[in-house]
Structure 1
Amino acid sequence: MKILYLAAVDENENKDIGVINKINGQIAAFESLNINVDKLFYNSHQMFFNGELFYSFNTHYNRRIFMYERILKDLKVGSYQGVYIRYTSSDPFFVSFLKKLKGLRKKVIIELPTYPYDRERESTKLTTKISNITDKIYRNLLKSHVDNIVTFMNYDYIWGIPVIKLQNGISIEQIDFTGYTNSKNYLSLIAVANVSKWHGYDRLLNGMVDYYRSNPKRKVIFNLVGDGDEIDNLKEIVIKHNLQDKVVFHGAKSGRDLTGIFKKSHMAVGSLGMHRIGIEQGSTLKAKEYTARGLPFILGYQDTSFSQKDKFIYYISNNETSINIDNIISFYDNLKVESNEIRALAEQNFTWNKQLIKVKEALKTTL
């Protein structure tokens, strides 16, 4: 079996590192399940086929209009049993492409990384507003041309299309086990993200402001790894409240550099602002990665991949209140679970191989 994996990512952009790692993990899992994968990645002006430049366009608009035509013309689409698409948005060109794929009797599966996503994409930019309106119109036409939607949320149907429900998976062998140690001297927190409003790290910073006003005995440090649209806003909070010696902005890190920061950390921080995009529960990739590291962590939403028995997760309210740092310290001081137990949970439950068996079965069904 052979499929084409289509995604809007740029392998030369730091902001796409997390997404690219996820996609490569999925592709490795597909291939371990005896599914050969060709990958077609695209950015604003170019397309890359299996890492090699496939086609360049003069403008972003030309790419958007003519990309699908170029795929159908220059790739041997007939050699694929199906096409797996990481969804960005719908427009008439995308719908026409899907219609032609179905005319060729190809399985079409779309992955929605986040759903619902409308609030996540809100913007004051006119071009973005037009794109969002276009998406809302044309996504309702997808059900005639799409076999399944893959998502990590608890839905049976989206836009009238049957859903394959997965948990976000990880490539466990690519994530170093770092664990945590009990320290009574200080507490080091770490978050890794392409920082956006739904990460809600301002809630943690505001909690640190309250905490340090009370003249605490224990130092709390927050290591933020990654870039993103919200970084400047967070830096303003840090400067305004003189937290420069307690909050470290590391920028984007990977490999040994990232592992080195994790080794000095006691707890991780997941998304704390999912309510800002209308999400109460989900299955995020980052929570699985923290689990693979063997770290306890903080979440501001209900992660459906975990159960109440998992005592290494500290849940906070999914709203705008500041984080109570004293409560986090108390949780950390009373942890009973060992790092290797946390890692074992990831090894047993969160690999892509186990998750993508469902997609393989969908690809095998007769058109």
Structure 2
Amino acid sequence: MKVLINMKEVFVIYNEILYIAFIYLSETDGIAKKVLSQARGFSKSMQKCSLLCCEDDSIVHLEIINGEIVNKTIKSRLNQVGSNSKERIMTIKELIEVANALIKNEKMLIYIRHMIPTVSHIRFLKNAKLSGHKIGYEIPTYPYYYEQFHVAHNKMKAIIKICNDIIHWPLIYKYVDNIYTIMSNSNSKVYKKMYLIKNGVEINTKIKFTEKKNEDKFNLIGVGTIWPYHGYDRVIDAIMESKGKLENGLDIYFHVVGESDEISKLERYCKLNNLTGHVIFHGKKFGNDLNELYNISHIGVGTLALNKRNADIDTAIKNIEYLSKSLPIVTSGKIFDISEDSNLYFISKNDQIIDLNEVYKFYKSYKNLYKKDILEKTLVEFSWDSITKDIIRNLNNI
């Protein structure tokens, strides 16, 4: 930390950021990959980013410099590892204890991904604030109560968790410097400490538009851990209604990548309705295997039932991944602050049957009007390097 004195004001420049996230490191879990991408981005704007999270039965401390992990230390062995509420709370308590030790001797920026609020959690925020640290707090989706209740298998547990959050929010709001959140409903109130951010991707290669060799068919692709609000049933019903063909005679195929209870339900539905020839369930795919599916696809399927999560903005990371593969998107709402005139996505409203012929016309329009400069500019704005740099700048200027 450096202190610069300029006449009447004192400016503090922080050299390090500590990112605390209750996630388990994984090369395949979407949230874990997002957090690590954010940490890499933070490290490029600071001298170092320290990521404190979990791995297997341990709490680990990753030191990241200029996007590279230079050191990984096991800070604590977890006494309990599990997914029930009590075990999760105990793990969060141990995570906070390790974080307390890390911030004792050096002033730094602190960035916390929202986790189950506890007494130790609030005490940490209070002590960090009083000790001169700047605290950024991330709410991955806002508002989230409706969605959390809607997707929960155990509604009573969901109500208890939501009530716990509501009870603790005034204290969290009091002690943090700013709240960084991804807004899913444009009508929601933005509080004074809230700063709106976006989901992003790591851009490792130059964007290029690849001419599809399979223009004799129309391939849609949907990727991720799917919930009912993703609305993939709307695509499947549209394929069933059109008997698997567009008006021009092209066969329609929907490639579903991922695993979840909802995907299992959709797979059973397709078997029941003899759609397995047109809806292909690939399970989990990564790396080159996933890229091969992207290469044959014409359009990416976003979130098609936003009304089921009380949202009108599609915040899914996979949308940005589609764009990074030069795929346009079909969705049921606006995508962050990308203009509807950008020709990058097609909106099919929640209460309408999807007209796949219109979606195909949109794809042909995208192909004919493809503008690499617009897509590249959009993806720069949605890169984690750009998003985290903006967060650092904002947090430092508070």
Q: Same fold per TM (> 0.5)?
A: yes
Identical columns (%): 23
1:98 aligns with 2:138: no
2:75 corresponding residue in structure 1:
54
Greater alpha carbon shift after TM alignment, 242-251 vs 123-132? 123-132
| CA 145–120 in structure 1, closer or farther in 2 if over 3 Å, else same | same
Give how far 1:117 is off. 0.5
1:42 corresponding residue in structure 2:
54
Structure 2 segments unaligned to the other structure (5+ residues): 1-14, 63-71
| Aligned equivalents of 2:34, 2:298: Cα separation in 1 | 25
Q: 2:364 aligns with which of 317, 330, 333?
A: 333
Give how far 1:35 is off. 4.1
1:305 aligns with 2:317: no
Give how far 1:175 is off. 8.1
Asked if structure 1 preserves the Cα contact closer than 8 Å seen for 2:20 and 2:113, the reply is: yes
| Aligned equivalents of 2:211, 2:47: Cα separation in 1 | 37
1:232-271 → structure 2 map (5 Å cutoff): 232-271=264-303
| Aligned equivalents of 2:60, 2:175: Cα separation in 1 | 25
1:287 corresponding residue in structure 2:
319
SS, match of residue 49 in structure 2: strand
| CA 124–230 in structure 1, closer or farther in 2 if over 3 Å, else same | closer
Give how far 1:342 is off. 5.9
SS, match of residue 79 in structure 1: coil
1:1-367 → structure 2 map (5 Å cutoff): 1-12=15-26, 14=28, 16=29, 18-42=30-54, 46-50=58-62, 51-55=72-76, 56-60=78-82, 61=86, 64-65=89-90, 66-72=93-99, 74-122=101-149, 123-125=152-154, 126-153=156-183, 160-173=191-204, 177=208, 179-181=210-212, 184-212=215-243, 217-317=249-349, 319-335=350-366, 336-338=368-370, 340-341=372-373, 343-365=375-397
| Aligned equivalents of 1:23, 1:178: Cα separation in 2 | 28
Give how far 1:298 is off. 0.7
| CA 357–73 in structure 1, closer or farther in 2 if over 3 Å, else same | closer
2:10 corresponding residue in structure 1:
none
| Aligned equivalents of 1:304, 1:73: Cα separation in 2 | 35
In the alignment, residue 147 of structure 1 is paired with which amino acid? D
Greater alpha carbon shift after TM alignment, 142-151 vs 81-90? 81-90
Give how far 1:115 is off. 0.7
Give how far 1:348 is off. 3.9
Give how far 1:222 is off. 0.7
Greater alpha carbon shift after TM alignment, 26-35 vs 111-120? 26-35
The superposition leaves residues 257-282 of structure 1 with CA deviations (integer Å, 9 ceiling, x where unpaired) of 11111111111111112211111125
The size of the alignment, in residue pairs, is: 362
Give how far 1:27 is off. 2.0
SS, match of residue 303 in structure 1: coil
Give how far 1:44 is off. 9.1
| Aligned equivalents of 1:135, 1:241: Cα separation in 2 | 42
In the alignment, residue 193 of structure 1 is paired with which amino acid? G
The structure with higher relative contact order (CA 8 Å, sep 6+) is 1
| Aligned equivalents of 1:174, 1:164: Cα separation in 2 | 29
Asked if structure 2 preserves the Cα contact closer than 8 Å seen for 1:83 and 1:109, the reply is: yes
